Amino acid sequence: MTTIETLNKKLGNTLMIWSTASIIAGIALFFLSFDPLFQGIGLESMLWGSINLAIAFKLLKRKEHILEKIRRELSISIALDFIYPIIGLPLIFLGQDAYLIGNGYGIMIQGAFLLILDLAYHRRFKQLS
């Protein structure tokens, strides 16, 4: 297994662990909490966790490990990570109820983790070139 393949596998596994934890936490918050704020966070955790789990599977099933393609995908993902606060912050500050505010916090939590993860792995892949 090449260094690129190993690093890609670590990225996929890290994202899979985060996604699974997000889904579990989201289910608990959404279904077991009576607080609309936590239910909003839970909904976002379930949604983002499901999407990220699909991405993690894609990463782990990747057949081609072309460094430039992986770096380009991470660059796009980093750009998207900076857009998420544009969605989350208005929900937090302009939300009319606790549920919407919770959704905003959920977006911010997920986006912050993804930004840190994407930046870290982008740097690691960049060191390979």
Residue labelled with tokens 């099933």: 61
pLDDT confidence band for 111 (50 / 70 / 90)? very high
* CA–CA gap between residue 129 and residue 68 (Å, rounded): 9
Q: Is the pLDDT of residue 124 over 90?
A: yes
Residue 96 structure tokens: 């009319």
Quote the pLDDT of residue 129.
79
Is there a contact between 56 and 16 (Cβ–Cβ < 8 Å)?
yes
More confident residue, 85 or 129: 85
Q: Using N-to-C axis directions, what is the helix angle for 67-94 and 3-32, rounded to 10°? A: 20
| φ, ψ of residue 2 in degrees (nearest 5) | -75, 170
- Here the tokens at position 13 are 């596994």
**What pTM, to 2 d.p., does this model score?**
0.94
Q: Is the pLDDT of residue 115 over 90?
A: yes
- Strands annotated E in 42-126: none
